[in-house]
Amino acid sequence: MIALLQRVSQARVEIAGETAGEAPRSIGPGLLVLVCAEPADTEAIGLKLLNKILKLRIFADEAGKMNRSVQDVGGGLLIVSQFTLAADTSGGNRPGFTNAAPPALGETLYDAFVAAARAAHPEVATGRFGADMAVHLVNDGPVTIPMRMGV
């Protein structure tokens, strides 16, 4: 499973001009988590990735050092599915997406990832799987961290 984390001061997703998702519909300070399932991924891999994300120390402490996690600072999570993280750009000028999980598996794993996040963290907003989304964010730092968890 692939994730791209962006530390944000605020973020939201719009679909057809309206803020998407269940309450909360947007987050203040926290993490935008772009997530992509790959064909060999499982719910267990997603849970391992989520646990790493929740504990990753990328927020500043009192001394200004990246020493606190999103849970330590009480930040929100905005979780958005993004199959393009699995893009293969090794040949030609058009990316291929065969490294991404098929849509049915991708949606199942995305839903399981979101459910686990909601069980483990108090503030979780989402996009909508498969939708054409406009992601609005203010990147804080900027801090952007790629992650991959696999078998």
Residues recognised as catalytic = 82-84
Alpha carbons 30 and 48: distance in angstroms, whole number: 19
Task: Name the 3-class secondary structure at 47.
Answer: helix
Q: 115 is written with which tokens?
A: 């459910």
Q: What is the DSSP letter of 86?
A: G
Q: How far is CA 44 from CA 62, 81, 89, 118, in A?
A: 35, 17, 28, 16
Question: For residue 9, how far is the Cα from the chain centroid?
Answer: 15
Spatial contact of 69 and 59, defined as CB atoms under 8 Å apart:
yes
